[in-house]
Amino acid sequence: MFMNNQTCSFVPTVVLRGGAAGVSKFVSSPDAGARVKHLAVTEGVRRQRSLKTRPPLYAKVVGPARPSAPTPKPKNALSDQSGVVNLDLTGSMPRRKTRAVRVGDVYIGGGNPVVVQSMINEDTLDIDGCVSSIRSLHEAGCEIVRLTVPSMAHAHAVEFIKQRLRETYRDVPLVADVHHNGMNIALEVAKHVDKVRINPGLYVFEKPDPNRTEYTKADFEAAARKLKETLKPLILSLREQNKAMRIGVNHGSLSERMLFTYGDTPEGMVESALECIRVCRELDFHNLVISMKASKVPVMMAAYRLLAKRLDEEGMDYPIHLGVTEAGDGEYGRIKSSIGIGGLLAEGIGDTIRVSLTEDPIKEIPVCYGILQALGLRRTMVEYVACPSCGRTLFNIEQVLHKVRDATKHMPGTEHCSHGLYRQWARRDG
């Protein structure tokens, strides 16, 4: 099981120094795991004593000079009015304040731990294959699973997938991804899932006009009315069932009128989402999660920042789903996702994440938890801090790190430690 230790004030450590005698013997001994645990507690007690005489784990980073006139403080600012950025080095990451939205038995936003999501790649008509993949993802730590619903036949199949999961495993929070002209499909699948994701650029089909040179105000408003009429039945259905909706904008599929009006820009992405949000608010529906996905990291980050700014300006506290879509595979796909998702989380933006890799979806889950652990937002694994080594290193620190990892890999998430999780260190000097 995964555990969030945001309430833990201290994490015990084991320190392996490059010049320490007997390190190789220590990590290769039969009772290495027990000795690591013993030394972790001992080191923890020592550090607790020494912390009393140390300055608080708090830093102030002075930014550029500000004008003498006072500047208003944004609602969710992470800095004070003097321009000093407050960094809490105890591991607590400031987050944008959002409402909690329930998806099955999971809550997104509202101060809850950042939720990890993924999506199966089986044909939804393959009920057994979908059930198996959903179960595998959930057992790997995926908390919400999405599946594609491109037709009415797929929508009906979701009912049997949900039923089979309950019979053979457990009830897993499911999200239906609805595509082109999806009103009737969305209304049907909403009966069987916990959240419906729509793409504003595709939900109402607009056949591109190759001869169009502009979108008049009347044309734009007529298309907006059509979107509202198409969305209304789904919103009322979800509101009645107390289920959720994700308004999932994609940079690569903005509607023609948004492209004509705002261009292929983050502003167009944000306006596309806000248009749908306002329809939901008019109908008193607030179980919303918003996303701004793009395959280009700078575009994705700019869109999410603008979204958070506009939501705050309009007094909207809806949670945000982060992701770099079509990130690719391998090391580069992980780097793109880590920069885009991690960068925004570090700014306090984001309540749920999905890493989109062109690989088996189960490989996305460790990347998600790695990003969250690196930011101190969730603790789900042992954290090893090891130096790259240099000429001063007196032993093979790479081999020692591997041995320490083997001896301590059973420790993450343990609830038997009075101070939380074990954090293992391997470094050459103090």
Is 186 a domain residue? yes
Q: Which of 295, 296, 367, 357 is nearest to 330 (CA)?
A: 357
251 lies in some domain:
yes
**Same-domain pairing of 341 and 414:** no
Question: Residue 12 phi/psi, 5° resolution?
Answer: -60, 150
Examine the domain organization and report whether 402 and 341 are in the same domain. no
* Structural domain that includes position 186: 101-374
The DSSP letter of residue 70 is -
Token pair recorded at residue 366? 């460790």
Residues 303, 416: one domain?
no
Residues 188 and 322 in one domain: yes
- Looking at the structure, tell me whether residues 202 and 339 fall in a common domain: yes
pLDDT at position 420 is 29
Residue with tokens 């002209």: 181
Residues 6 or more apart whose CB falls under 8 angstroms from that of 280 comprise 231, 235, 245, 247, 286, 288
Q: What is the CATH number of the domain that holds 215?
A: 3.20.20.20
Written as tens digits, the pLDDT of the chain (430 aa) is: 333 434 333 333 344 445 544 444 444 444 545 554 444 444 444 444 444 444 443 334 344 444 554 544 444 444 444 444 444 544 567 899 999 999 999 999 999 999 999 999 999 999 999 999 999 999 999 999 999 999 999 999 999 999 999 999 999 999 999 988 789 999 999 999 999 999 999 998 777 778 888 888 898 899 999 999 999 999 999 999 999 999 999 999 999 999 999 999 999 999 999 999 999 999 999 999 999 999 999 999 999 999 999 999 999 999 999 999 999 999 999 999 999 999 999 999 999 999 999 999 999 999 999 999 999 999 888 888 888 888 888 889 889 888 888 888 777 643 322 222 334 444 434 3
Q: Are residues 307 and 415 in the same domain?
A: no
Q: Give the type of residue at 187.
A: L
Q: Which positions ≥6 away from 44 have C-beta within 8 Å? A: 10, 11, 12, 13, 419
Question: Is 241 found in the same domain as 263?
Answer: yes
The answer on 17 and 105 residing in a single domain is no
H or E, element range at 303: helix 297-313
Residues 186 and 277 in one domain: yes
Give the pLDDT score at 408: 84
Quote the strand ranges of 227-287, DSSP E: 244-250
What is the per-residue pLDDT for 286?
Answer: 98
pLDDT recorded at residue 34: 53
Question: What SS3 class is residue 272?
Answer: helix
Residues 48 and 194 in one domain: no
pLDDT (0 to 100) of residue 55: 43
Let me know whether 224 and 329 are in one domain.
yes
The DSSP element (H or E) to which 427 belongs, if any, is strand 423-427
Closest of 352, 336, 346 to residue 296, by C-alpha: 336
